[in-house]
Every structure is written in structure tokens, then in C-alpha cells.
Amino acid sequence: MTLSDAITARTSLRSYLRVPISAEQRLELGKTIDQSNQRAGLHIQLICDQPEPFASLTKSYGMLTGVTNYLVFAGPETDPDLDEKCGYYGERIILTATTMGLGTCWVGGTYDRDFCLRHLEPGERLVCVAAIGHVPAERGGRENLIHNAPHRSIKTAAELASGLSHAPAWFMAGIAAVQRAPSARNRQAYRFVKKRDNSVVAHLTEETPFGLVDLGIAKLHFELGAHGGAWTWGDGGVFHKAAEEKSCGAVIWRMSEGRREYLLARHNGGHWSFPKGHVESGESEADTAAREIREETGLTARVDTSFRQMVTYYPKSGVVKDVIFFLASPTGGTEHAQEEEIAQIGWFSFQEARSLVTFATDEEVLLAAESCLAQRAAET
Ligand SMILES: Cc1cc2nc3c(=O)[nH]c(=O)nc-3n(C[C@H](O)[C@H](O)[C@H](O)COP(=O)(O)O)c2cc1C
């Protein structure tokens, strides 16, 4: 599940099982939290096995039960954009948790704020928290709905945006993602305006206690829905859509003396990765992968599109790049590295390949490929 899929899957959940978050899940969440803190200078923390802030509250709005883990959203009190950054980066963590199958709920009011202040360093301000944890498989129970607003009403695109006539598809997709954005008391008190130069301005339509947190959350949703771009902070912040690039490639594998081996290429830039390259006009994704394999390694290969993993990253400012990886197995040709781009190619065991690949995203693709192939082997 991608973060964009998580936008559709997420809903605020208020009833939790007292099942601990596993060490693996804590590690995974920790990575996203560390990244956010580093990028934005925040002090977001995951607090586990501590029910106190939610133990004795019986307010009518959004009573939470069974909460034992929560996220603390805090940062320097001198940062003028603290609320918005907590919303933007916090929602990235919430969506990551959703991809991991965990339930979440942003919480601004119904928790013991004084208790949570103990997690702050001097000079920091607590913005809000979020409940996080395992939820019953049946997630639609009454307790998960807001007491006095049982139906989650979604604002229309026209209520949330201006400039919809003649708007490009990416703007419409951005607004559709904003429609799904959580907000305090479901207010969504903001508006996204498309300008003639295709930039987008987001501003608040009324003053509410968590308005800037809501705005940060909505900005992230818009960016994910629009598929890449960058915002400036603040009420009236501007978004510029990133240019889109697409490459295709493959995790090439073979069996050698009873063990699975993977082909990696050391690019002239020094990094180890899989063969891949830009889609040329008229090509299907599989055509591009096969051509790039041939050009970069000299091998012909059967491309298996039933395995398809997409990696998205920003290669430079203002550009978002999708790379699609398939599985492939060699069918012929003569192995040789394409001089202009590739310094070296080689076959490696899974463990060797895992420690050799340079980018974390490639490691994830390799892990997915290995688990897919191992499962297939077990089934035959
Ligand atoms: C900043 C913020 C604070 C919130 N505070 C609470 C809260 O105190 N109690 C609660 O039950 N829900 C709280 N919510 C959850 C909203 O009620 C919920 O996001 C909204 O109703 C939309 O529903 P959904 O998240 O299921 O899409 C909060 C949400 C946000 C973004």
C-alpha cells in the first residue's frame, strides 16, 4: 500500500486493542519519525505502552478507548510554522502507520495534555497528539464514530477549491485527496485556489484552534494526490507542481547451483542498482524494461509483469520520478556492461545484493522480489 492508497484507507479510529506495537513496526515508524524530525526540526515522538493520557476521559466528543500508544507532536516554540509542520509531517507518519495496518486518530482535545508535557524539552511547545495502535478487525463500530457527528461528511470539491473549470487532472486529484484529509471537528476550514500560472495557493477560511495543523495535513494530502510538488509554509502558502519523469527496469534473477542470484549494475556515478531507464515514446513499461536490460547488460530477458513495484523519489528540486520495477529472467545474449552508463555488472546472492544496493528504495524492491520468488518456490 502506498501513501496515496493510505489516504483512501485511513479513517479516525477511537477503539483500540491492548496489543503492543511490535519491535519491527516501532522501527519502521521510527524511520519516518526521525526523517520528519530531521527535515523540519520537530520533536515528534512515539510513546508506547503508556495508557495514562487517555485513561480517565469521558468527554462527549470523540472518546477514545484502549489507547496505550500515542504520537506526541511538538517542536521549538519559536518556530512560526510549528502547527503546520506538525500537521504535514504528522500526517505522513499517520499514513505510514495506515500502510502498516495500524489504526490512528489525531487528538487535539480529548487527552490529558498536562501528562504529555513531560515528553517535552525546555523551549518546546506541545501541539497535539495522535492515538496509534492495533484496532479490531471490524473497524466500523459505533465507538469509532464521533459521538455527535456519526456521519463523516465530506466537503465537495467546489467547497474546497477555486479554479476547477479547466483545472488540470493533477489539481483535481489533489483536491480529491484533500477531501479525505482529517481535520479537528471535521471543519476543513481551508480553500485551495489554482492560479493562472498553475501554482496553487492554500489559505484558511476561518480561525479555528487547530486550523494550521489541519492546513498542514491538507497540504500533504494535496501534494500526494497531485503526485509531487512543493509547498511554502503558512496561511497563503504556494504549491508548485513537480515535473513528472518515469523510468522502468527489472530485478533480474537466475538460479545458479541451487541458489537464487540477482544481477546488479554499478552505474558510472558509483551506485549499485538494477538496470533501468527512461520510457521512450510508444513503449509499454515492459518494453522499456526489456530494452534497458538489453542495452545496459547485453542480455535478453523475459519480463514478468505480474511483479510490479513502484518507487517514487525527487531526483532534483522540482522533479518527481516514478521508477517501475518488474522481475526478469535472462533468455540469451552476451553479458557485457554498457560503457556510457555502467561500470560493472555482476551476479550476487540475496544477502550480497542486499548489502551492495546503494539506495534504501532499491533494497525494499529487492526484499519484495526475494519474498515473492521464495513464496513461488515454496508453492511449487
Ligand atoms: C488536529 C486534529 C485534532 C483532532 N482532535 C480530535 C479529538 O480530540 N478527539 C477525536 O475524537 N477526534 C479528533 N480528531 C479527528 C477528527 O474528528 C476527524 O479527523 C474528522 O472528524 C474526520 O474524520 P476521519 O479522520 O475519519 O476522516 C482530530 C483531528 C485533527 C486533524
Asked if the 3-138 domain carries CATH number 3.40.109.10, the reply is yes
Closest Cα to atom 13 of ligand 1: 107
The average pLDDT across 184-202 equals 95
Query: To test the ligand 1 pocket, which listed residue (106, 214, 217) has its Cβ within 8 A of the most ligand atoms?
Result: 106
> Residue 40: pLDDT above 90?
yes
The average pLDDT across 123-143 equals 84
Dihedral (CA of 306, 357, 275, 334) sign: negative
> Residue 81: pLDDT above 80?
yes
Please state the domain extents for the chain.
Answer: 3-138, 159-241, 243-374
Query: To test the ligand 1 pocket, which listed residue (8, 10, 12) has its Cβ within 8 A of the most ligand atoms?
Result: 12
The average pLDDT across 229-249 equals 97
Query: To test the ligand 1 pocket, which listed residue (61, 153, 186) has its Cβ within 8 A of the most ligand atoms?
Result: 186
Q: Is 217 in the pocket of ligand 1 (CB under 6 A)?
A: yes
Q: What is the CA radius of gyration of the chain?
A: 23
pLDDT at res. 58: 55
CA of 105 to the centre of ligand 1 (A): 6
> Residue 63: pLDDT above 90?
no
Q: Is 152 in the pocket of ligand 1 (CB under 6 A)?
A: yes
Q: Is 178 in the pocket of ligand 1 (CB under 6 A)?
A: no
Atom of ligand 1 nearest to the CA of 214: 31
> Residue 62: pLDDT above 70?
no
Q: Is 179 in the pocket of ligand 1 (CB under 6 A)?
A: no
Q: Is 108 in the pocket of ligand 1 (CB under 6 A)?
A: yes
CA of 182 to the centre of ligand 1 (A): 6
> Residue 141: pLDDT above 90?
no
Residue in 362, 354, 361 with CA at minimum distance from that of residue 275: 362
Bigger pLDDT: 139 or 254?
254
Chain centre distance of CA 120: 26
pTM for the whole structure: 0.86
Atom of ligand 1 nearest to the CA of 62: 11
> Residue 41: pLDDT above 70?
yes
Q: Is 104 in the pocket of ligand 1 (CB under 6 A)?
A: no
The average pLDDT across 173-194 equals 96
> Angle 211-225/82-99 helices, nearest 10 degrees?
50
> Residue 144: pLDDT above 60?
no
pLDDT at res. 150: 39
CA of 106 to the centre of ligand 1 (A): 5
Fold for 243-374, please state it: Nucleoside Triphosphate Pyrophosphohydrolase (3.90.79)
**Which residues partner with 130 through β-bridges?**
71, 106
CA of 108 to the centre of ligand 1 (A): 8
Residue in 137, 133, 148, 124 with CA at minimum distance from that of residue 47: 133
- Could you read off the pLDDT of 24-33 as tens digits, one per residue? 999 999 999 9
Bigger pLDDT: 48 or 154?
48
The band of 146, judged by pLDDT with boundaries at 50, 70 and 90, is very low
CA of 184 to the centre of ligand 1 (A): 5
Asked if the 159-241 domain carries CATH number 3.40.109.30, the reply is yes
Q: Is 91 in the pocket of ligand 1 (CB under 6 A)?
A: no
> Residue 61: pLDDT above 60?
no
Q: Is 113 in the pocket of ligand 1 (CB under 6 A)?
A: no
In this chain, the answer to whether the domains covering 3-138 and 243-374 adopt an identical fold is no
Question: Rounded to whole angstroms, how far apart are CA atoms 320 and 311?
Answer: 11
pLDDT at res. 340: 87
Q: Is 62 in the pocket of ligand 1 (CB under 6 A)?
A: yes
Q: Is 188 in the pocket of ligand 1 (CB under 6 A)?
A: no
CA of 313 to the centre of ligand 1 (A): 30
- Could you read off the pLDDT of 256-308 as tens digits, one per residue? 999 999 999 999 989 999 999 999 999 999 999 999 999 999 999 999 999 99
- Could you read off the pLDDT of 319-361 as tens digits, one per residue? 999 999 999 999 999 998 888 889 999 999 999 999 999 998 9
Burial class (CB in 10 A: 0-12, 13-18, 19+), 308: middle
> Residue 107: pLDDT above 60?
yes
Tell me which of 70-84, 169-183, 187-201, 329-343 is least confident: 329-343
The band of 147, judged by pLDDT with boundaries at 50, 70 and 90, is very low
Question: Rounded to whole angstroms, how far apart are CA atoms 371 and 327?
Answer: 12
